[in-house]
């Protein structure tokens, strides 16, 4: 049996999303998905809430969280509590944005979780080899993230797919949805080899899904999202944080992002784009 899961969704427990865990489950089922992973910024509370709410034995909810590290965002999947890094348990958006990658990966592994490097080339052009093959390395990367190409590197997904091949690590797909209509825009098809729907209660088969991901029995599918979702998400964040003074600037960004190539040209002219980080050598 194969199941389709969107493995990267933000809920209202993130500072930049208003979609409740219950709404995520409802929309994902409506769009034909077999499950979701909820990965809020620096907290597992949204994922745990969704796990609690899910009453459908045929639907999988994986609690996770997305942490900011020195080498970009890392999604921890199959978490059961907040990770403990440097003696601090993050809650909400309070943890330092540049945690050491190794410590985050170790803290995820300590719970039996899987560490996934999210949108690895969204705003950089290379990563050092130890991220993928060192003593403490990520278990998988996102080969496709619907939002990855909306920032500074439009080829971010192609680059990630190539990287997964080069290091022979599982490549997953996730929408990185912050807004309701983004849910399911990308997903991972996971092969639960030798298992049929009659044999298992999907809601309780986390260990099968985890093993399939680690063994690379995965394929990803997806569509890129519109660039306008980025300023829209920033507007959601400004409303939640009541930083209304940013609104005129964000509305301008939204208008530019909606103008297609003309807007991109204007953003470039204003210095907003085209500043992807310079390539680093493998030794760095
Ligand atoms: Zn991210
Ligand atoms: Zn995300």
Structural domain includes residue 280: no
Structural domain includes residue 275: no
- Judge contact between 41 and 233, C-beta under 8 A: no
Distance 147 CA to ligand 2 centre (A): 9
- Judge contact between 143 and 221, C-beta under 8 A: no
Q: Are residues 71 and 170 in the same domain?
A: yes
Q: Are residues 265 and 138 in the same domain?
A: no
Structural domain includes residue 78: yes
pLDDT of residue 96: 54
Ligand nearest to the CA of 123: 1
Ligand nearest to the CA of 9: 2
Q: Are residues 50 and 144 in the same domain?
A: yes
Distance 266 CA to ligand 1 centre (A): 25
Q: Are residues 264 and 166 in the same domain?
A: no
Q: Give the closest residue to 115 by CA, choosing from 44, 185, 166, 64.
A: 64
Total number of domains in the chain: 2
Q: What is the pTM of this model?
A: 0.87
* Structure confidence at residue 87 as a pLDDT band (50, 70, 90): low
Distance 153 CA to ligand 1 centre (A): 14
**pLDDT tens digits, residue range 125-184?**
899 999 999 889 999 999 999 999 887 788 999 999 999 999 999 999 999 999 999 999
Q: Are residues 117 and 198 in the same domain?
A: yes
Distance 119 CA to ligand 2 centre (A): 8
Q: Are residues 254 and 114 in the same domain?
A: no
In this structure, what token pair is assigned to residue 78? 């199959």
Q: Are residues 148 and 234 in the same domain?
A: no
pLDDT of residue 281: 35
**pLDDT tens digits, residue range 254-282?**
887 777 777 667 666 665 443 434 333 33
Strand order of the β-sheet with 186-191 is 171-174, 140-145, 114-117, 72-77, 60-69, 35-41, 2-9, 186-191, 218-222
Ligand nearest to the CA of 40: 2
CATH number at residue 64: 3.20.20.140
pLDDT of residue 8: 98
3-class secondary-structure state, position 113 = coil
Q: Are residues 139 and 262 in the same domain?
A: no
Q: Check whether 222 has a pLDDT greater than 70.
A: yes
Which of 222, 240, 259 is the last residue in one of the domains?
222
- Judge contact between 75 and 63, C-beta under 8 A: no
Q: Are residues 127 and 18 in the same domain?
A: yes
- Domain containing residue 150: 2-222
Q: Which range is least confidently modeled, 47-61, 196-210, 221-235, 266-280?
A: 266-280
Q: What percent of the chain has pLDDT over 70?
A: 87
């Amino acid at each position: 049996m194969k199941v389709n899961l969107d493995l990267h969704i933000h809920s209202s427990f993130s500072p930049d999303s208003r979609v409740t865990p219950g709404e995520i489950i409802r929309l994902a089922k409506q769009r034909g998905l077999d499950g979701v992973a909820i990965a809020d910024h620096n907290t597992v509370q949204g994922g745990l809430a969704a796990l609690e709410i899910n009453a459908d034995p045929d639907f999988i909810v994986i609690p996770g969280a997305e942490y900011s590290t020195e080498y970009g965002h890392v999604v921890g999947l199959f978490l059961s509590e907040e990770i403990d890094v440097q003696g601090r348990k993050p809650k909400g958006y309070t943890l330092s944005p540049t945690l050491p990658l190794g410590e985050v990966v170790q803290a995820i592994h300590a719970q039996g979780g899987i560490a996934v490097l999210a949108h690895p080339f969204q705003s950089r052009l290379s990563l050092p080899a130890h991220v993928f093959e060192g003593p403490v390395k990520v278990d998988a990367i996102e080969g496709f993230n619907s939002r990855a190409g909306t920032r500074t590197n439009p080829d971010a997904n192609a680059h990630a797919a190539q990287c997964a091949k080069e290091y022979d690590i599982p490549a997953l797909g996730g929408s990185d949805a912050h807004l309701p209509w983004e849910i399911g825009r990308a997903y991972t098809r996971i092969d639960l080899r030798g298992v049929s729907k009659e044999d298992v209660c999907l809601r309780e088969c986390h260990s099968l899904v985890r093993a399939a991901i680690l063994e690379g029995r995965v394929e990803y599918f997806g569509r890129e999202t519109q660039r306008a979702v980025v300023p829209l998400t920033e507007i959601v964040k400004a409303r939640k944080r009541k930083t209304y003074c940013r609104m005129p600037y964000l509305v301008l960004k939204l208008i530019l992002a909606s103008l297609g190539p003309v807007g991109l040209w204007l953003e470039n002219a204003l210095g907003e784009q085209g500043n992807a980080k310079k390539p680093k050598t493998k030794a760095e």
